[in-house]
Amino acid sequence: MSRLILASASSSRQSMLQNAGISFESVPVRIDEDAIRRSLVAEGASPRDIADALAEFKARKGAEKRPEDIVLGSDQILALKGKIFSKPADKDEAADHLRALSGQTHHLYSAAVIYEAAKPVWRTVGSARLSMHSLSDAEIDAYLDRAWPDVSGCVGAYQAEALGGQLFSRIDGDWFSVLGLPLLQLISYLRTRGMLTS
């Protein structure tokens, strides 16, 4: 029987799948996310479409490694007034990102694509709107002193499920998409495939 493969080393996505009782194997893949993102932005692609495209690139790459299995690729995009944010390169850039997000409402788009037999067979994009408190430079520095380097691999330089929750006044939309994977939609698909035990 085909096995579910997560084409990622993301500890957050692995934890979500494990906590939901989904059996899977993690097979990390390498793609040039920055180059793909820059190309799509230059073409005028929407943040939602960029998240979807990056998830598909990962799923396709994973399917090349494990063509006999069902491969899940996922990616998350943060957008503020049309600007796409990447993961911060260092602590200084993380502070810059938080200053830009301070007092603003931004969107997170978390895409998931499944490949089977070298073809995409399912896809979805979950979204959420996050409103951040107005933060002083001193608050940003104090936050990063506590949260760094745990947030170094996170778009927006926060983990809303952890200390970063203190930064927000309101979060609307799919919570699992905030965490990086539209889990409920994925579960619904896996149920139709008979891949869940309950």
**pLDDT, tens digit, 9 for 90 and up, residues 2-54:** 899 999 999 999 999 999 999 999 999 999 999 999 999 999 999 999 999 99
SS3 of residue 60 by DSSP: helix
Q: Distance between CA 8 and CA 134 in Å, rounded?
A: 34
How much is the pLDDT for 196?
Answer: 84
Using a pLDDT cut of 70, give the percent of the chain over it.
98
H or E segment and range at residue 47: helix 47-65
- 172-176, Cβ contacts within 8 angstroms, sequence gap of 24 or more: 172/128, 172/129, 172/130, 173/108, 173/126, 173/127, 173/128, 173/129, 174/110, 174/126, 174/127, 174/128, 175/128, 176/16, 176/110, 176/126
Is the pLDDT at 99 greater than 90? The verdict is yes
Are the CB atoms for 52 and 123 separated by under 8 Å? yes
H or E segment and range at residue 105: strand 105-116
Give the pLDDT mean for 94-115: 98
How much is the pLDDT for 198?
Answer: 56
How much is the pLDDT for 2?
Answer: 81
Are the CB atoms for 86 and 31 separated by under 8 Å? no
Are the CB atoms for 26 and 9 separated by under 8 Å? yes
H or E segment and range at residue 130: strand 119-132
Place 195 in a pLDDT band, splitting at 50, 70 and 90. confident
Q: Could you tell me if residue 13 is left (phi over 0), alpha (psi between -120 and 50 degrees) or otherwise beta?
A: alpha
CATH entry 3.30.460.10 includes domain 4-192: no
Question: Which of 146, 170, 150 has the alpha carbon at shortest distance from 159?
Answer: 150
Q: Tell me the one-letter amino acid at 95.
A: A
| Residue of 34, 52, 69, 75 marked active site | 75
CA atoms within 13 Å, Cβ hemisphere of 14: 9
pLDDT digits (tens, 9 = 90+) for 110-148: 999 999 998 999 999 999 999 999 999 999 999 999 999
The verdict on whether 75 is a catalytic residue reads: yes
SS3 of residue 189 by DSSP: helix
H or E segment and range at residue 6: strand 4-6
